Structure 1
């Protein structure tokens, strides 16, 4: 391991270090930051976990999360993702670092304030056994690292995060869809339509992109439990959005049409409106 030099101490157990001349990393270990100051060296033997921030996007993502999420929760979330990659060889799309961390943070707040409610996410472990095994281990890691008690059912929405962030390529026009892998296929369709319109996740739009990914997770849950939004929106909203945001409306319509055609399901009109809202923010259509 290269020389580790303290850049910033977050707490006694978590430190941002410079690795060599160019790279940075977050290291964790019992007492690794105790009485350390900028420029001090850390012995590799003290390090229990290390997360490299070797790209500008990784540094940006980590900095964004720390504005809203405590460092211990952020690092536990990152450790869970690394566990999935290494122990299960499970590929993930980068946005899971944001969506999973946000989810764990919100659940932690609800538990600590006594407002936690049992997850309404459907149990689809028979179709996704690996993701559910990852999620079970994730709950154990959370409880151990954060000294909290996430109940067993907290694993289900965590599994859904991994299902929907599974590393997949864009869907080609002629590629057939396996309707059993519903969550992955919704992501494939959205990313395929985005690709046609040149929409990609970047530093400028990453927050809105990640919010859309969260919306997709709950859309999948609503469809699989046949609990789509039953509330009727004002009939003028859709036509107004079509006039105000024609490009966003066009992209949203293509996504909804593809989902309905390829997955042989029916979306209600509200889902189209929700997609328009997310896409308008994503592409910043004025």
Structure 2
């Protein structure tokens, strides 16, 4: 197996027997080696496959100033995350998470701690990612002896959320999280109720809102494929939920300049009805 690119003394890029581009790590793996040299496979301690060549270039740039030790930690975190999360993770996470962990641990050593303003929302709306991030704190502690707090878990979780959006940047992820939180608050205030966060309907609503936000960030227009009669029937059948949807639509237009389609109105109305209906039925029984 030949070296295609030396990233640093301990990390190289090469190709495996399936002609896949891989990053190989090992102490002294690339010492006094150059592109085209045969790799000493006995020194390889860890490998991972990268689908995007541009990621390798970015990783090489990062490793000019950052120890591959943090890449090793990141790869362990991502290996675990891949077994727990439903969507494929973007390879760029190897770069983003390595960079983040290096900075976070450096800050910790200097006694500098940041509060994550979205901790509460992330823990609440991205439960799977947050649980993986808590496990990441365990992995980091095992490797470094340093225990980072939940604020860092929230930041790691955001990277994992972002990594499942395939190409959207962190600012987009933060904006989507805020959008989800604002819409849920509109629903709560309109119906004057707390939502059952353990219900399947709540999980479905959250999922819809996340992808709803993703479509906005990517400028993916939803074309109306539902006729006016069906729209009118939904509006009549779920009148209270539709009124709430109109408040959401006003918020989106005023805050983001986004005018949603009738099709989106229907989806939102149905989800809002489902997530609030059981509570309203219980109130009537009382």
TM-score (norm 2): 0.52
Deviation at 1:68, TM superposition (A): 4.8
- The residue number in structure 2 matching 1:243 is none
What whole-Å deviation, never above 9, does each CA across 1:155-183 have from its counterpart, x for those lacking one? 1221122223324799xxxxxxx652455
Question: Is the 2:4–2:13 contact (alpha carbons within 8 Å) kept by the matching residues of 1?
Answer: yes
Aligned equivalent of 1:19: 15
* Superposition deviation, residue 34 in structure 1: 8.5
**2:113 pairs with one of 110, 113, 116:** 116
Give 3-state SS (helix, strand or coil) of 1:33's partner. Answer: coil
The runs of 5 or more residues in structure 1 that have no matched partner are 171-177, 196-252, 265-286
Give distance in 2, aligned partners of 1:102 and 1:184: 27
Alignment check: 8 A CA contact 2:29 2:39 kept: no
Change (3 A) 1:71 1:163: same
C-alpha deviations, 1:91-135, integer Å up to 9, x for none? 234554444333323212211211123433323434433211211
Q: How does 1:40-59 map to 2 (within 5 A)?
A: 40-43=38-41, 46-53=43-50, 55-59=52-56
Equivalents in 2 of 1:35, 1:168: separation in Å?
A: 35
Q: Residues 113, 90 of structure 1: CA spacing in aligned structure 2 closer, same or farther, 3 A cutoff?
A: same
Equivalent in the alignment of 1:160: 158
The alpha carbon displacement at 1:190 in A equals: 0.7
Provide the C-alpha distance between the structure 2 equivalents of 1:4 and 1:94, rounded to a whole number of angstroms.
23
- The separation in 2 between residues aligned to 1:104 and 1:184, in whole angstroms, is 28
Deviation at 1:16, TM superposition (A): 0.5
TM-score in terms of structure 1 length: 0.52
Q: CA 1:69/1:83 → structure 2, altered by over 3 Å: closer, same or farther?
A: same
Q: Which has the higher helix share?
A: 2
Contact 2:11 2:68 in 1 (8 A): no
Distance 2:45 2:63 in 1: 21
Structure 2 portions without partners, runs of 5+: 169-203, 223-252, 269-286
Contact 2:129 2:161 in 1 (8 A): yes
Aligned-pair Cα RMSD in Å:
4.3
> What SS is found at the alignment partner of 1:150?
coil
Matches within 5 A, 1:50-69: 50-53=47-50, 55-69=52-66
For residues 55 and 159 of structure 1, do their structure 2 counterparts lie closer, same or farther at Cα, with a shift above 3 Å needed? closer
1:191 aligns with 2:191: no
Deviation at 1:148, TM superposition (A): 3.3
